[in-house]
Structure 1
Amino acid sequence: MNSTMITNEFAKMRHLHSWLLAVALLVVPTVITLYIGVVNPDFDRTTDSAWNALLAGFGGALPLAAPLLLAILASRQVDVEHVGGGWLLSSTHGVTPGALCRAKFLALAAVVTGSTVGSSALAAGTGLLLGISAPWPAGRWIGCTAAVLVVNLVLVALHVIVSARVENQLVGLGVGLLGTILALVTSSLPGWVTHLVPWGYYAVATGAGYVESELVATTPSVLSIAGLAVVAAIAFGVLTHRFDRQEA
Structure 2
Amino acid sequence: MNTKAIANEFAKMKHRQIGLIIVLLAVSVAALTAYTSLGSGLLDRLDDPDGYGWKVMFGGVGMGVSLVAPILLAVLASRQVEIEHTGNGWLSSSTAGLTPGQMCRSKFVALGGLVVLATIAWGAILIGFGAAIGIETPIPLGRWAAYVAALAVINLAVLAFHILLSAKIENQLVCVGIGIAGILIAMFSQILPAWVSHLTPWGYYALTIQSAYVGLEPVYFDLPFLSVLGLAVIGGGLFLAITGRFDRQEA
TM-score (norm 1): 0.97
Offset at 1:213?
A: 4.6
For residues 100-179 of structure 1, the aligned pairs below 5 Å read 100-179=103-182
Percent of counterpart pairs with the same letter? Answer: 45
The equivalent of 2:46 in structure 1 is 45
Q: Within 1, Cα distance between the matches of 2:83 and 2:216?
A: 47
Q: Within 2, Cα distance between the matches of 1:71 and 1:112?
A: 12
Q: Within 1, Cα distance between the matches of 2:42 and 2:34?
A: 13
TM-score (norm 2): 0.96
The equivalent of 1:221 in structure 2 is 224
| Structure 1 residue 231 corresponds to structure 2 residue 196 | no
The equivalent of 1:12 in structure 2 is 12
Unaligned runs of 5+ in 2: none
Offset at 1:207?
A: 2.0
Offset at 1:212?
A: 4.0
Offset at 1:197?
A: 1.3
> Secondary structure of 2:192's match?
coil
> Secondary structure of 1:161's match?
helix
The equivalent of 1:32 in structure 2 is 32
Q: Within 2, Cα distance between the matches of 1:11 and 1:120?
A: 28
| Structure 1 residue 70 corresponds to structure 2 residue 73 | yes
| Structure 1 residue 210 corresponds to structure 2 residue 199 | no
Q: Within 1, Cα distance between the matches of 2:17 and 2:230?
A: 34
> Secondary structure of 2:191's match?
coil
Offset at 1:92?
A: 1.0
Is the CA contact 1:70–1:156 (under 8 Å) kept in the aligned structure 2? yes
The equivalent of 1:246 in structure 2 is 249
User: Match of 2:2, as an amino acid?
Assistant: N
Q: CA RMSD in A?
A: 1.3
Offset at 1:64?
A: 0.5
Offset at 1:108?
A: 0.5
Offset at 1:211?
A: 2.8
Offset at 1:237?
A: 0.6
Moved over 6 A (4+): none
Is the CA contact 1:141–1:207 (under 8 Å) kept in the aligned structure 2? no
- The aligned length equals 248
